[in-house]
Structure 1
Amino acid sequence: MEPGTGVEKENQSSAQEFILLGFPGNQHLQISLSVVFTMTYILAVTGNFAIIALVMAHPHLQTPMYIFLSNLSFLEIWYTTACVPKAIAIFPGKSRTISFVGCILQMYVIFSLGCTEFFLLSVMAYDRYLAICYPLHYSTLMSSTKSGQLAFLCWVSGFLFMIIHNSLVARLSFCSSNVINNFFCGADSLIFLSCSDTSVVKWVSITMGIIVILGSCLTTLVSYIFIISTILKIPSAQGRQKAFSTCSAHLIVVVMWYGSSIFLYVRVSRQSSLDIHKFVNTLNTIVTPLLNPFIYTLKNKEVKEALWNVLRRTRVPEGWGDSLPSL
């Protein structure tokens, strides 16, 4: 046995759990953050669940576009659930610890769901490309069955793709500090804390960032180049507006998600920027899942009509519905 190996194993064995710092501030600020995160989490889950329920309840919404949208909403529910409840618990300072296994599992779920979202957003961009650039052949090129298969492929690819990266991080040694300067377990924080050689993990992280983030971003960008080019060729202003309205909500979500994600994961982070990363992570894990249902509802006429029909039926006494004009 080499000298120091026993000490390293002893130090590593003592790091069986990590401490999540959360956000800096006094007790009043922590309580306020806990309340804000709780309310935001409830609204995000409720809003995304409402989108899924609307799509399932209305047959005319069970088209490829809304199948992708319901998959995105389902993903957002689990994405925010993977980290926000734990964040809410650590704000009062009562449950700041997380086991090594729990930390690795949380990291795997969060990153796999994030990877799935990149794939799903790029497939949604491709769907809008087919709908706008090939409207006469769209029903043949993208059926409900094909959209379901593509969505399933996004889920499987996202979770399989992160296995290699997650297994490499799980093998790192943590011999000194076990304090994570974040409100969830992220690869950048664990790589910083590790006392073993992290060059391979960093290389794999950068490579996967290029493949997943920049690769899906390129697919989305090319799709929108063709979409915008086709829209500009439409002679009437009303036709251009109608065509653009079918993809404007998706475009807003794409800009929000890719902008924050590229900032976080394309480059290997340093400890000095971890505080900034916490705020950007908040945008990805809480704000974006909260805004998605509102963006798609406000920007989509069919979803608004379906939602209004549900609200109207719940507010109007039974038997009065036949006398009301339809939308």
Structure 2
Amino acid sequence: MFGPSTRNEWLFCGPLLLQALIVPALQIYTLVEWQEWVNPNITQVSVGYVVPINLVIFVFTCLYLVVLAFDAVHHKNNLLLFAICASNVCITVFSGLQPRSMKEAIATLPEARDANLQPLVNVHFDFIGRVYPALVACPVVFGICTALVWPFAYRLHKDYAWAIYRTIHGNTSIKIRYIAYEVYLVLIKSKFYFITVFIIQYDLIDVHFQQPEFALTLAILPASFIMMALAIWAVRKEWTLAMIFAILSHGALAAYFVSRIVVLNGNGELANTADKAMMLLFAYVSLVLMIGTLFCAAVCVYNFNHGLKDLFGGLSLERDHVDFEALPRRSEQTHSQYSRLSLGKKNGRDEW
């Protein structure tokens, strides 16, 4: 089953599911009020895309965290549990900054006019006043859900740590290799999120439909998803050629993000854009995750054919008793040594 199957897993996923229901509802309400406030000619300026895109980012974040939570409990990935908790802390802080950043982004819109001197927004509509309670409610919901998932993640961590220990029979070398594999999965799944958010912001706000860069940049999204799926499949199947291709793809994406960071920090037309600070933040984080992914991918390839392949998919929490069949048995030599020490009865006398 893909998703929670035990009580602790449901307790961990429950707050994230609740978060994925409440926050998108609040963001959709804000988007509806935005559509009531702006006029159709708002599409003529790139700042008109900042607010809707930020709302889409929040909705995508909530849904992606739920998918990651289901994936974490399905594969018993301890590191992914805490990565989700840390991500929820970050999105809570980001959500707390949303009211201020939105005010700054739309501050000039009431006085702005298009080429025909028509207003871009309805000057008699108090947009901020109507959506401010919803904007404040979002970080409150994120904060409550974050406080709930941390203790449940710790309880799951103990369950999964025992499942892993039981499966590998306490083998330290296999455990280290398995941790490297878990780190790789966490990095590549986290990296996909930051790549997606950056591409959405950069393509719609900065590039703003300018061809051919708009189409080429947008094509990175499906390519990144395919690459992520291929890399996960290749590392589990221990297919070296596919992993080499994945490593080369990671390197190509890293080179692309270096070029975008240079462009955004330069003096050209693309450097002068709204929401530039957030674009650079997501670009830098994506680049750091890619470097970590490259290193972990190389470590995973080095660990191929060292016993991990048989371990994948072997973790289970269905049984709470010790699996004695899986424990290593004593050798015949050890058994015979202990047999010599058994008590026996001979000629009416006890003797060794």
Give the TM-score, by structure 1 length.
0.31
Give the TM-score, by structure 2 length.
0.30
Bigger relative contact order, structure 1 or 2 (CA pairs below 8 A, ≥6 apart): 1
Q: Radius of gyration: which is bigger?
A: 2
